Chain A
């Protein structure tokens, strides 16, 4: 970044570099938009949320929601929500955290992930050699959670239900269809489930 002049009178000396800086910001922005459209959103990037395509079809809005059913060693059960399970993280991370508990095969990938549905996107081969991106790709397609994820879930459920020991958690996924023209009337369709056995989590 050019050294800022102390007074207006110094401006002409730095003017060329300042103009270049402005041009670089505009060009960089355009290049970045191209990358977002063609590949994925990087970080950092000069991007504010677009909120994407409205999930509206035939006057209805489709939303995917999860519910968590916890089974305890004493045979009792409890029902909780992702918001409560992930209460320690900022609320905006709810979708990203719940992602790991979606049914396998239902984890949307729109990025460089070499093993994902968009594996042929530009740069996918490069991504295979980048440790974080390769790991991310593997997690998108994994059919079970890792032992450390299982231990975390066990600990978290112990925080939420201190008097009981959880033995399993079922993440039940629903597709709710809200009819905008019919006073918010909605239909619920259960479309998947992800089950995590926790009984031996601390030993694995």
Chain B
């Protein structure tokens, strides 16, 4: 029994030590993601009457309709302020809890239309990492000559949460015949998305025409094995990184074929990436130094002022990044770029891992990668 407790303690308190130095970088990436992808949110709710109100069991079940549009404007304003505070490292613990709380409140109303989008990891990440040292300065945290900048158990807890979430996706599949050779679950899901949800992708159309029964069956098995495998991989940092890297390809494939995208999952997997290596590049080190300088000077008044200004931009113009892309390209490609980035990082990591496992040495270009990280 003592040995089991010791092994669990080692896993909880030290298995993810290598990820701690990268947490402040991950905080900046998480905040940028909020600004690039998430905000503004919930504004569409105001366009629908209370007649659509169908709450799930949860906090909104005690109401009989949606709050007025001004409520969702307030949520967006506070979300922008909290995300900006996270970005610049101002009162990060409060900001992290605020981001989690505001997303939770907003989502609870949005999902009261009778549909729950499963983006809970977007809330879980700041909720758990509020207890970590992700609010610390970037450069000091990345400095390998300094003592470990904080505990790693929040990363282990986040990894466990990701693994359990993936298990929650695998269990219904196991129980409803995804591994039954007489059914073709992935193909059925593709058909549903293509025809019912009207998500017409070029690759989806191509695959629907193709007669590839073995491929469809393999896809059913691979999906279940990948999702269920996380719960074993979580006890081994390298295993967890490997599963997260494989899952990046999985999500990219699902996106290309079915136009279903779990960007928040890709973001959550990012907690295991060795972002601290970025400061080895002089140009990125300069940016990190500038952010640290900003962090040391930032005060409540500027944070409030800049947040209000950002809110004005987001409220009046929508997401500016998306708006600019639509103006220049006719559509937003943020999601595609983020998927490509995740796949690139995952690919380099898996390539390096294969080389390390096979030949024992990484090739020159892969070793030079600033973010793929070694275990």
Residues of A near any B CB (own CB < 8 A): 1-8, 10-11, 15, 18-19, 21-22, 25-26, 29, 33, 39-56, 59, 61, 63-65, 81-83, 88-97, 99-100, 111-112, 130-133, 135-136, 139, 145-146, 148-149, 151-152, 176, 178, 180, 183-184
Contacts and interface: CB of A to CB of B under 8 A. Distances in A.
Interface string B184-195: 110111011001
B195 A29 contact: no
Nearest to B111: A43
A65 B120 contact: no
Given A56-B188, A88-B47, A133-B57, A43 B108 contact: yes
B365 interface: no
Interface of B: 8-9, 12-13, 44, 47-58, 60-64, 104, 107-108, 111-118, 120, 123-124, 130-133, 147-148, 150-151, 153-154, 156-157, 160-161, 164-166, 168-173, 176-178, 182-185, 187-189, 191-192, 195-199, 208-209, 211, 227, 262, 265
A6 to B, nearest CB: 7
B48 to A, nearest CB: 7
A135 B58 contact: no
B32 to A, nearest CB: 22
Nearest to A53: B176
Contact of B12 (A22, A90, A91): A22
Contacts of A149: 49, 51-52
A95 to B, nearest CB: 7
Contact of A135 (B48, B64, B198): B64
Given A93-B113, A183-B211, A6 B150 contact: yes
A39 to B, nearest CB: 7
B176 A64 contact: no
B56 A148 contact: no
Contacts of B52: 97, 100, 149
A64 to B, nearest CB: 7
Contacts, number: 226
Given A41-B56, A93-B113, 9 more contacts: A6-B133, A26-B164, A44-B58, A48-B166, A50-B171, A54-B176, A132-B112, A148-B51, A184-B208
Contacts of A136: 53-55, 114
A54 B131 contact: no
Contacts of A94: 196-198
Contacts of A33: 168, 171
Contacts of A2: 131
**Considering residues A11, A21, A51, A65, which has the most beta carbons from chain B within 10 angstroms of its beta carbon?**
A51
B160 A46 contact: no
A125 B154 CA distance: 40
Contact of A53 (B44, B171, B177): B177
A136 B184 CA distance: 34
Contact of A148 (B49, B64, B104): B49
Contact of B188 (A54, A89, A97, A131): A54
A104 B287 CA distance: 60
A97 B130 CA distance: 36
A133 B59 CA distance: 11
A4 B154 contact: yes
B195 A63 contact: yes
A54 B8 CA distance: 38
B187 A48 contact: no
A195 B192 CA distance: 25
Given A40-B56, A96-B113, A19 B123 contact: no
A145 B209 CA distance: 40
Contacts of A59: 182
A98 to B, nearest CB: 9
B276 to A, nearest CB: 17
**Considering residues B48, B113, B188, which has the most beta carbons from chain A within 10 angstroms of its beta carbon?**
B188
A40 to B, nearest CB: 6
B131 A1 contact: yes
* 3 closest residue pairs by CB, A with B: A50-B172, A96-B115, A96-B114
B62 A5 contact: no
Nearest to B54: A136
A132 B104 contact: no
B120 A44 contact: yes
A83 B199 CA distance: 10
Nearest to A178: B191
Contacts of A93: 113, 115
A53 B183 CA distance: 10
Contacts of A61: 184, 187-188, 191-192
Contacts of B107: 43-44
Given A25-B160, A132-B62, A91 B131 contact: no
B148 A52 contact: no
A50 B191 contact: no
18 contacts: A18-B12, A39-B57, A42-B57, A44-B107, A50-B171, A50-B172, A54-B176, A63-B192, A65-B196, A82-B198, A83-B198, A92-B115, A95-B197, A130-B61, A131-B64, A148-B49, A152-B51, A183-B209
Nearest to B186: A54
A15 B48 contact: no
A68 B199 CA distance: 18
Contacts of A184: 208-209
